[in-house]
């Protein structure tokens, strides 16, 4: 390892393979253990439709509860922006589509680089707004654990280094690209074992919670 190119080749070669292995082993483990552990059987007579409750909660939890948007606009607006932003940058940037193509054998059309660039800037701003509110709001600050800041950094660094690389900031494009891919490798490794795993486990938890509420006849 004596140059940026060496780091880049390691990051997208052996490093990526290791990260991908940890990611898939971890995520499959989490999901399989959750699904197969099952829930305690509720023997009571259902007062509503459990499946309908589950389905409803899957999307209902994506909307702010009544009044919350007005009470915490930064959290919701910035939250939506960075989630949608990450999805757009990850799935619709041409260089990223090539990664999925290598993994899945299929590709799809991407968006212009300039548009991806703009979305990236908005995503980064939203993430920094969320960090600011977390640091300045006493309640959020009290509730935040060190893991929350680690997860924030794990999310921000790949986006920031990717944006810096594309826009040729820093001494070397190759070096910045290596930093970008390495930070993604790190993100993949941490994904199943931190709050980042909610990208998948939110579906199981919402489904379980929705079915329980649906069984009791509650409209979540």
Q: Which residues bind other proteins (CB under 8 A)?
A: 3, 5-6, 8-9, 12-14, 16-17, 20-38, 40, 94-96, 98-99, 101-105, 110-116, 168, 172-174, 177
For residue 38, the minimal CB distance to other proteins (Å) is 6
Q: CB of residue 16 vs other proteins: minimum separation in angstroms?
A: 5
Please, what is the minimum distance in Å from the beta carbon of residue 151 to other proteins? 21
Nearer to other proteins, 37 or 139 (CB): 37
Tokens of 197: 């795993």
Residues 166 and 202: beta-carbon distance below 8 Å: no
Task: State the minimum distance, in angstroms, from the CB of residue 171 to other proteins.
Answer: 8
Reduced to 3 states (helix: H, G, I; strand: E, B; else coil), residue 67 is coil
Backbone CA torsion sign across 105, 111, 113, 119: negative
Side-chain half-sphere CA neighbours of 2 within 13 A:
0
> Is 30 or 133 the residue whose CB approaches other proteins more closely?
30
Exposure b/e, 176-209, CB count within 10 A at least 16 = b: bbbbbbbbbbbbbbbbbebbbbeeebeeeebbbb
Task: Identify the DSSP state of 111.
Answer: B
Smallest gap from residue 113 Cβ to other proteins (A): 5
Nearer to other proteins, 130 or 187 (CB): 187
């Amino acid at each position: 390892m004596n140059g940026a190119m060496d780091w880049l080749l390691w990051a997208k070669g052996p490093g990526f393979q290791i990260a991908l292995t940890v990611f898939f082993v971890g995520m499959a483990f989490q999901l399989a253990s959750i699904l197969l552990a099952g829930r305690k059987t509720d023997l009571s007579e259902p007062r509503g439709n459990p499946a309908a409750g589950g389905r409803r909660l899957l999307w209902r939890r994506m909307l702010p509860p009544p009044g919350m948007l007005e009470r915490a606009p930064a959290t919701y607006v910035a939250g939506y922006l960075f989630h949608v932003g990450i999805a757009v940058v990850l799935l619709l940037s041409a260089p990223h589509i090539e990664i999925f193509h290598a993994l899945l054998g299929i590709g799809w059309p991407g968006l212009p680089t300039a548009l991806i660039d703009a979305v990236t800037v908005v995503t980064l701003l939203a993430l920094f707004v969320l960090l600011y509110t977390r640091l300045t709001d006493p309640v959020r600050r009290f509730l935040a654990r060190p893991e929350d800041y680690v997860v924030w950094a794990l999310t921000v660094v790949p986006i920031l280094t990717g944006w810096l690389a594309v826009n040729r900031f820093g001494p070397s494009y190759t070096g910045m690209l290596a930093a970008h891919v390495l930070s993604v490798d790190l993100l993949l490794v941490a994904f199943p074992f931190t709050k980042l795993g909610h990208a998948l486990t939110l579906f199981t938890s919402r489904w379980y919670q929705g079915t329980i509420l649906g069984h009791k006849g509650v409209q979540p």
